[in-house]
Amino acid sequence: MFKENNAGVTLAKGFKASGIKAGVKKSGKDDMAVIFTEKAATVAGTFTTNLVAAAPVFVSKDVVKKGTAHAIVVNAGCANACTGEQGMKDAKAMAALTAKELGIDASDVFVASTGIIGQTLPMDKIEAGIKLAVAALNENGSDAASKAIVTTDTYQKAGSFSFELGGKTVSIGGIAKGSGMIHPNMATMLCFITTDAAISHDLLQKALSKCVGISFNMVSVDGDTSTNDMVLVLANGMAENAMITEENADYEKFVAALEKVCVGLAQLVARDGEGATKFLEVNVTGATSFEDAKKVAMSVAKSPLVKTAFFGQDANWGRIICAVGYAGAQMVPEKTIVSLNEVVVFDKGMGAAYDEEALKAIMEEHDITVNINLGLGEDKATVWTCDLSYEYVKINGEYHT
């Protein structure tokens, strides 16, 4: 698990954050956050591929195109999705209201929302909440911000660490929310990452796209791709490292750091799948391409029969190899080996002889690894997921009401 520290988005120099109660959530819990850097930050972002995207997604995409920003404003409890022209007006108003309080331009403000689809924002509460959130900004506000952005999450998700870059100490950290409606490209997931590294817009975007591809886009809880997903990075350069403008050693080191943050937060999302009792890592090796390896891993991770078997602690490996076979990837049963942790259950076309007590003990564990060796090539992929429980149905059956 990603545990370096939980300073999150305020570990990096120059960043402040806050989280408050605006009254958007019916539960009365914290539901609005602001992240701010006084010095303009280079920015990058990735967004949902769902064609029914929420209004905040379009507003934030425009900020990424501009290349720099100062702030992020987030509300939970209302997704502001499928809300037509009014939704766009409200998303833009959130940016304008935040900008006014911070003394910056509205085009310098990212907007994010999460919650129930199809409801318009209560703008009176949003306006009052923004004022409170800006007033509450502080250098230790990451925990409050991460608390304010969750919905069905059972815990907050944060991580951060420092590293050396060009002789300077650089810090990077993030907060995320996500528990259900989780599937690549991306999920009901918001992630905000801050760093004091100095890096160009183009390279920051390239780095983020690469890291999201092997982290957040490799997580599946229930196979649903949401309307509001986004991962944003702000880099304000206050570490004073030499500006990264080419793909040199400093760039590679930065990418490695960003990947560490993204993978750590993505794993926390999978661990917190709605109603989850198991954390599952699906490793596929021996594929002829990364794409095929991902197809196989995702096929297994998304299978309701596989997921419910793990919930029931039933070592039904037939469901796993079945999902491998229909994944749409190149595979030959007679070359494929499947194991649960270290116990081989399927060996080149047939069920393997195994110690039933050892396998039973594995199925009782919380963290289980599914290893699938296709025996065809050198490419590989890893997907993180969870089981599918009675509680998942209960949570989603009651969510709107």
* One-character DSSP codes across 52-107: S--HHHHHHHHHHHH-EEEEEEEEEEE---S-HHHHHHHHHHHHHHHHHHHTS-GG
Q: Give domain 8-271's CATH number out of 3.40.50.920, 3.40.50.300, 3.30.950.10, 3.60.70.12.
A: 3.60.70.12
Residues of the chain with CATH 3.10.20.340: 279-398
The per-residue pLDDT for 269 is 83
Band (392; pLDDT cuts 50, 70, 90):
low
Residue carrying the six token digits 């935040």: 98
Per residue in 5-39, pLDDT (tens digit) is: 668 999 999 999 999 999 999 888 999 999 999 99
Active site residue 227: no
Residue 54's alpha-carbon distances to 90, 126, 168, 214, 230, in angstroms, are: 11, 17, 39, 24, 11
Q: Give domain 279-398's CATH number out of 1.10.1200.10, 3.10.20.340, 1.10.3720.10, 3.40.718.10.
A: 3.10.20.340
Residue 193 has pLDDT above 90, yes or no: yes
The DSSP 8-state label assigned to residue 138 in this structure reads B
Band (154; pLDDT cuts 50, 70, 90):
confident
CA distance linking residue 302 with residue 370, whole number of Å? 13
Residues of the chain with CATH 3.60.70.12: 8-271
From the candidates 48, 98, 188, 336, give the one annotated as an active-site residue. Answer: 188
Bridge partners (DSSP) listed for residue 193: 174, 233
- Write out the DSSP string of 151-211: SS-SS-EEEEEEEEETTEEEEEEEEEE-SSS--SS--S-EEEEEE---B-HHHHHHHHHHH
Residue 390 has pLDDT above 90, yes or no: no
Residue 187 has pLDDT above 50, yes or no: no
The per-residue pLDDT for 182 is 43
The per-residue pLDDT for 12 is 97
Residue 181 has pLDDT above 90, yes or no: no
Over residues 322-326, mean pLDDT: 97
Over residues 166-172, mean pLDDT: 94
The per-residue pLDDT for 309 is 93
Band (219; pLDDT cuts 50, 70, 90):
confident
Band (139; pLDDT cuts 50, 70, 90):
very high
Under 8 Å between Cβ of 193 and 172: yes
Of 120-124, 125-129, 148-152, the poorest mean pLDDT is in 148-152
Angle between helices 84-102 and 55-66 in degrees, nearest 10: 50
Residue 77 has pLDDT above 70, yes or no: yes
Residue 224 has pLDDT above 60, yes or no: no
List, in sequence order, the alpha helices (H) in 216-315: 249-271, 290-302, 304-311
To the nearest whole percent, how much of the chain has pLDDT over 90?
Answer: 78
The DSSP 8-state label assigned to residue 253 in this structure reads H
